Structure 1
């Protein structure tokens, strides 16, 4: 193989079996755009992102990156980052699944949606599954004998590309995707956690390659016996590229996700729909007349009646606490005086709009907030 120069970097190209997949995906996506025309206008930025992802795949396997990835470890690392990060991210932003579901006929669309929401797909696209898969792929393909075997067997090189594309796609799908999948509304805080966790295997692989005292894949020397850096220097450079650019990509995506999180509302802004549903249900059970409206409310915190009922519940709890304290005081000192009232000061508390103390018990409203417990008649006697 000729030495890597600027001239060779620009002119070294090769054909690959992956070109067939690129053509099929491009034709399918463009066909979806044509069928979508009767529904509206598909955003150009999505189409550009998807086609850009296919172009990045072509560059990674057909250009000098693909040619010299068999001779230089650091070039292979560049190819790896393009395949596991750049290509999947661009494809996800293009939202091909959403396009195909919308552009399909009614029957085909329903079948596709059912398939995408099946138990198998839910398990494969689960963020925890994706993270484990991503970690295993990075460690196995770089820090084990696999790194040497891929140089000896061409089918392993293609299998490695499959691993990079699928692991990257599944990892970034719940972070960036709005596809018709179960995890499309993955909470923003957990998206940030997933991205930060993704930095761990990147750092591990990068540091190990930089610190390893011996070459992990000595077969690279066979492709360039008389040019290029030493195997160890080449490997150290590859580790530095992996560590810096891998973590930098994750960090940038995490910052973008935080920005989206701060501007968002709804279940994604918290820790998931299940937590919001539990809070809504708890408040609904404390509310009497407003329970149906509370369950249907888009924003629990904007429901004035629900918050008033919630404050009333707190007042009853406070009343019970005061009653127990008053009983203990009577036993200890013989005093029969005890007061218990709930001071409503907030705008959502009963009586809070006037700034006056609001009685916690409806009976207290009739007999005054200063009555002692023994002066108040039993409710059943009225």
Structure 2
């Protein structure tokens, strides 16, 4: 299927897709904008890591693995048979939505791309004006980023990406156009990145809530997510008109497929929650350990100071003793 066809809304009686199966979903079917974007993301990240290593700086291999897995997860759902099925089956589309909004962002954020960029980009020389690094720092400190990465913005955005899309005509409108479909996929990824950025807290950002607040932010979004999944499972009529019997694989019951889409949404909420909680617990333990080390070091320094003071006191006594002896 050429990209033109895949991008077209109705496969005009093509009914060519066989019933959905894992092997059919895993066939290679590149969607070029996503493939190119992912390759660029890998190249930029790789360049940054190589630059640090050449300089003799450490960059944790775990972060590289997380970034590769994150980009890989995007390729897996956009450049595969799943993307073709996502045009004709609600359940397949929902799998794409869930991965792009809840799995890829977590993996990408664990790769700490902002930290990498800040370390790898060289500061602009004097009198050169602002280079990429200065622009990135300015962006991170901008009011715009403060607002869009704040929980009061990210949680409603994350929720609206579900309710606002599928319970209004918006989804059907976007699915008619290739650019609409691409924009929707990018929105899922962006909304997920913004939602999990303050929560994962690997990268610097304007909003750095403490660990308890982060866990609360995570749990504030999840009930809405679960409720949406249940609402889709319970719906008796079709929520969206994009998916029709003509385009779907032969023998598809659209209502059963919609129920499955709801089930996928509902079940998927548990995965990122577990991943994030594990990551947060590890970060928390590490930061406690760091704090303990800092306190130990401070205590050592205080101990040294006391010892030095005591030695100085002894020396002064000794000098006084000598003075008295000399005077005698």
Q: Under TM normalisation by the shorter chain, which class is it?
A: 0.7 to 0.9
TM-score by length of 2: 0.75
Q: Counterpart of 1:139?
A: 163
Q: Counterpart of 2:88?
A: 71
Coordinate RMSD, CA, aligned: 2.7
Q: Counterpart of 1:90?
A: 107
Q: Quick one: structure 1 residues 69 and 266, their matched pair in 2 at CA, closer, same or farther if it must change by over 3 Å?
A: same
Q: Quick one: structure 1 residues 6 and 246, their matched pair in 2 at CA, closer, same or farther if it must change by over 3 Å?
A: closer
1:20 lines up with 2:59 in the alignment: no
Q: Quick one: structure 1 residues 225 and 74, their matched pair in 2 at CA, closer, same or farther if it must change by over 3 Å?
A: closer
Q: Counterpart of 1:115?
A: 139
2:282 and 2:41 map into 1 onto residues whose CA distance is 32
Q: Counterpart of 1:250?
A: 273
Contact 1:215 1:235 in 2 (8 A): yes
Kindly name which structure, 1 or 2, has the bigger radius of gyration based on alpha carbons: 1
TM-score by length of 1: 0.65
Count of residues in correspondence between the two structures: 273
Shift of 1:222: 4.7
1:27 and 1:260 map into 2 onto residues whose CA distance is 28
2:167 and 2:83 map into 1 onto residues whose CA distance is 21
**What SS does structure 2 have at the residue aligned with 1:220?**
coil
Contact 2:89 2:248 in 1 (8 A): no
Q: Counterpart of 1:2?
A: 17
1:204 and 1:146 map into 2 onto residues whose CA distance is 20
2:123 and 2:172 map into 1 onto residues whose CA distance is 49
Q: Counterpart of 1:206?
A: 229
Contact 2:106 2:272 in 1 (8 A): no
Measured against aligned partners, the alpha-carbon deviations of 1:101-130 in whole angstroms (never above 9, x if no partner) come to: 111112343442232112221111112211
Shift of 1:67: 1.1
Measured against aligned partners, the alpha-carbon deviations of 1:237-269 in whole angstroms (never above 9, x if no partner) come to: 11011011113422452355356446643999x
Q: Quick one: structure 1 residues 27 and 207, their matched pair in 2 at CA, closer, same or farther if it must change by over 3 Å?
A: same
Q: Which of the numbers 8, 11, 18 marks the counterpart of 2:27?
A: 11
Matches within 5 A, 1:55-204: 55-107=72-124, 108=131, 109-183=133-207, 185-204=208-227
Larger relative contact order (Cα-Cα within 8 Å, sequence gap ≥ 6): 2
Q: Which of the numbers 33, 45, 58 marks the counterpart of 2:49?
A: 33
1:83 and 1:119 map into 2 onto residues whose CA distance is 26
1:7 and 1:170 map into 2 onto residues whose CA distance is 33
Q: Counterpart of 1:220?
A: 243
Q: Which consecutive unaligned segments of at least 5 residues does structure 1 have?
A: 269-296, 303-382
1:158 and 1:113 map into 2 onto residues whose CA distance is 29
Shift of 1:11: 2.9
Contact 1:147 1:216 in 2 (8 A): no
Q: Counterpart of 1:356?
A: none
Contact 1:195 1:251 in 2 (8 A): no
**What SS does structure 1 have at the residue aligned with 2:88?**
coil
Select between 141-150 and 247-256 the one with higher mean Cα deviation: 247-256
1:114 and 1:266 map into 2 onto residues whose CA distance is 32
Measured against aligned partners, the alpha-carbon deviations of 1:153-172 in whole angstroms (never above 9, x if no partner) come to: 22221111121011000011
Shift of 1:176: 1.1
2:209 and 2:289 map into 1 onto residues whose CA distance is 12
Q: Quick one: structure 1 residues 259 and 12, their matched pair in 2 at CA, closer, same or farther if it must change by over 3 Å?
A: closer
Q: Counterpart of 1:54?
A: 71
**What SS does structure 2 have at the residue aligned with 1:13?**
coil
Q: Quick one: structure 1 residues 41 and 166, their matched pair in 2 at CA, closer, same or farther if it must change by over 3 Å?
A: same
Q: Which of the numbers 265, 271, 275 marks the counterpart of 2:288?
A: 265
Measured against aligned partners, the alpha-carbon deviations of 1:276-296 in whole angstroms (never above 9, x if no partner) come to: xxxxxxxxxxxxxxxxxxxxx
Measured against aligned partners, the alpha-carbon deviations of 1:182-223 in whole angstroms (never above 9, x if no partner) come to: 22x420001110111111221121011011110112331255
